[in-house]
Structure 1
Amino acid sequence: MLRGLFNFIIFSSLYVACCAILMIWQTNTLLQIRDINEAYYFFVFCSTICSYNFHWYLTPADYSTSERILWGARHKTLQLVLCALGALGAAYGFWLLREQWLPLSGAAVLTFLYSAPKVPHRAFIWLRKIAIGKTIFLTAVWIYVTTLLPVFIEKQPYSPTILFLTLHRFFLVYAICILFDYRDLESDKKEGIRSLITILSASGLKKLYVSSLVLAAIFALVLFPVDGWMLTAVLLAPVAITALLTRYAISNRSDHFYYFVLDGMVMLSALLHFTITALS
């Protein structure tokens, strides 16, 4: 029963939606956004549930041994229900934030582009041929929604902190996406979806991955003046752990490892930050 509950939390995308909420909290805290729009938390949570369940509903299980994909194949109705409920919640959140319709629309477009190649219609099939599209779209969505949109909505003035936090998160999430792309190499080839993994050599991919982690670490160090070693330590933690897990990730195909541990790396610094703040 506990395993079934754990699978539901992970595979229904409730877990990843909570990851997004924590990252937004950290953005608001670091940038000292005081007039936090709570409707945005609701909008992002519902949008994440909708978009991820839509994505996995479209993912075929014909040639997969993935536990998540097979779980989705057994729970198609549940995925549609969660997608519909998420869409209704997102629509309501969009209405509450309607004055910010333009930046919110940008998030919707980026989110759709990530899943569009899976739509079985010739109008979208050409997107499968776009090199690196899958990786770039997913990374762009996460950074735009969790880091930039709160700034746009609350009309925060530009600051170096915004830039460095955005770059730190971008390269961390990008490195994690590379590991996911490497794992999904065979299924992407069978679906005709191109990514960096399908066009780069092994050495080229390794250089890109290592460079992304190094840049994530550098921009974490650059943020030292914002809150001293506490912030630097929590930002470096997921970078260091991801690096240590690389060899295991490459040789392992466990969905629980990828969708719980690796997905958790995107919000680990926010979770540590929240815990330290709550205890202090």
Structure 2
Amino acid sequence: MRGLFNFILFSSIYVGCIAIVMIWQTNALLHIEQINYTYYAFVFCATMCSYNFHWYLTPADYSTSERILWGARHKTLQLSLVAISGIGALYGFWLLREHWLPMGGAAVLTFLYSAPKLPQRIFVWLRKIAVGKTIFLTSVWIYVTTVLPLLIEQQPYSHNVLWFALHRFFLVYALCILFDYRDLESDKKEGIRSLITWLSTRNLKKLYIASLAFSAIFALALYPIDNWLLTGILLAPVVITALITRYALKDRSDHFYYFVVDGMVMLSSLLHFILTIPGLL
């Protein structure tokens, strides 16, 4: 069972499912009636491809991380997943080709996040200026799970779209700060710069608290779109993340981070989905 759990977690199947659940919540919360289900398959495949590519490029030299060591033992599997999911993503892109421009933007942002790990000189140079890599990652998640579904279905802009996107952005950004703080030493050894290596501990703490606070504020701003129950669901991961912060700073377990901390990204989406099951309430 542990081997199966590690496979689902470290092969990025879990994170692919997180993306799918988040897209579902976007469609449900913003009342998108005409849903393009091809987009779900495309995002799952693209997420699997990009994450396995990222971890395939991550060296195990400077780390005792169980995930990185698992990847070092399963390089062939990771490369196979990159190839298979990449083919699926390309096919999905072809089916959605009329939206090539907004989808291309997501591809560029995704590549910029992993590019500093490539050995070519131009990409090695990016390590020195990639201070915003966390912003790139956060932006991709929000763009793909919140903005793109609306663009594909040609939904009109509303303030609720903006509040929802900002709520998610600041929550994901706060979670990314936790990850970057945990990986501080390995990033320094690899020569990869980020806000974590640039900001002082005091300023980083302020940025983290501000991100959670803004996420909560924008969740409250969404109250008119539904009811207080849904607002509570949106606030749940913000509150839980704040409560587990001290523990997260001490426990650097990959299972805790990639299952629990990553899981905070989709917690409100999962609760929202459960509450829509007929007869549950």
AA of the residue aligned to 1:66: S
Q: Give 1:102-113 correspondences, 5 Å limit.
A: 102-113=101-112
1:231: which partner in 2? 230
2:16: which partner in 1? 17
RMSD: 0.7
CA distance in structure 2 between the partners assigned to 1:27 and 1:277 by the alignment? 14
Q: Which runs of 4+ in 1 moved over 6 A?
A: none
Q: Give 1:41-120 correspondences, 5 Å limit.
A: 41-120=40-119
Gaps in structure 1 of 5+ consecutive residues:
none
CA distance in structure 2 between the partners assigned to 1:163 and 1:80 by the alignment? 37
1:234-256: CA deviations, max 9, x gaps?
A: 10000000000100111111000
AA of the residue aligned to 2:92: G
1:156: which partner in 2? 155
1:206: which partner in 2? 205
1:187: which partner in 2? 186
Gaps in structure 2 of 5+ consecutive residues:
none
1:222: which partner in 2? 221
Shift of 1:31: 1.1
TM-score by length of 1: 0.98
CA distance in structure 2 between the partners assigned to 1:127 and 1:215 by the alignment? 30
Q: Give 1:240-259 correspondences, 5 Å limit.
A: 240-259=239-258
Q: Are the aligned partners of 2:26 and 2:145 in contact in 1 as well (CA < 8 Å)?
A: yes
CA distance in structure 1 between the partners assigned to 2:250 and 2:199 by the alignment? 19
1:130: which partner in 2? 129
TM-score by length of 2: 0.98
Q: Are the aligned partners of 2:10 and 2:70 in contact in 1 as well (CA < 8 Å)?
A: yes
CA distance in structure 2 between the partners assigned to 1:231 and 1:179 by the alignment? 26
Q: Are the aligned partners of 1:131 and 1:196 in contact in 2 as well (CA < 8 Å)?
A: no
1:155-195: CA deviations, max 9, x gaps?
A: 11000110000000000000000000000000000111101
Aligned residue for 2:227, secondary structure, equals helix
CA distance in structure 2 between the partners assigned to 1:131 and 1:158 by the alignment? 32
Work out the number of aligned pairs and report it.
279
CA distance in structure 2 between the partners assigned to 1:167 and 1:53 by the alignment? 27
AA of the residue aligned to 2:29: L
CA distance in structure 2 between the partners assigned to 1:142 and 1:41 by the alignment? 14
Shift of 1:72: 0.1
Aligned residue for 1:32, secondary structure, equals coil
CA distance in structure 2 between the partners assigned to 1:127 and 1:105 by the alignment? 21
Q: Are the aligned partners of 2:50 and 2:82 in contact in 1 as well (CA < 8 Å)?
A: yes
1:5: which partner in 2? 4
1:261: which partner in 2? 260
Aligned residue for 2:137, secondary structure, equals helix
